[in-house]
Amino acid sequence: MTTTFAAVLAAQLRSEPGRPLVTFYDDASGERTELSVTTYANWVAKAASLLVEELDLERGDTLRVDLPTHWLGPVFLGAAWTAGLVVVDEEDPDAVVCGPDTLGHWAGRADDLVVLACSLRPMGVRFADDVPAGVHDVGIEVWSQPDSFIPWDPSQPSDDATRLGGVTLTQQELWEAAAAGTLITVGGRLLSVANPASPPGIAIFAEPLARSGSLVLVLHAERERLEATYAAERATARFPA
């Protein structure tokens, strides 16, 4: 039984490295971004290296992923779990990754905690303007990181993975629940408008990864457009149902 994120991802890389894992639509901007298992793993490695090698976070530290529905949400979830960080929804984490809408909230605390900001522009590029002093622009700093990351202190099944909504799950509990999940069948394709970085949304990413499936995230879509995307992407389930 694979009971850490690193083990789950490694198993998927061995079996189907080229299959789509996360597909993201923003119907307001027209963006469509698709990450295969391999491309996703490369992004996770870059983000984990940034968190650990550049910003000195350590196994057991906490990370808040304060992003809206976006493909970078699963990337930073994976980076956190690769590095042995605990994903939290607290106001006093060791580090936070935010988007443009919450950058103002966190920028003033950059002296007390690590603040990373994502522009959420296509391809994960930098902000058009400079971010506030002390804030790390992910679109600048992530690209120089390597495509592979091997932690010197790997996470263990008994390590906490999430502490969200007052509920703590270890890596083992998270991935056992994902493997036994009911949102999709094995190999299924889940379409969702939910935020995978939110407490109820973790499963919409964890289950497709653990069950050899894939996730289609859709933002700013009317119902008719959602139905068209569901058909075009050959989805097999949706959340919320």
User: CATH homologous superfamily of domain 5-239?
Assistant: ANL, N-terminal domain (3.40.50.12780)
pLDDT for 241 equals 79
The Cα 89–Cα 28 span in angstroms is: 27
pTM: 0.97
Which residues share a beta bridge with 87?
63, 162
Of 102, 95, 53, 100, residue with least CA distance to 76:
95
pLDDT for 225 equals 94
The Cα 170–Cα 160 span in angstroms is: 4
CB 171 within 8 A of CB 151: no
**What are the domain boundaries of the chain?**
5-239
Which residue positions in the chain have pLDDT lower than 70?
A: 1-2
The Cα 105–Cα 212 span in angstroms is: 37
pLDDT for 198 equals 87
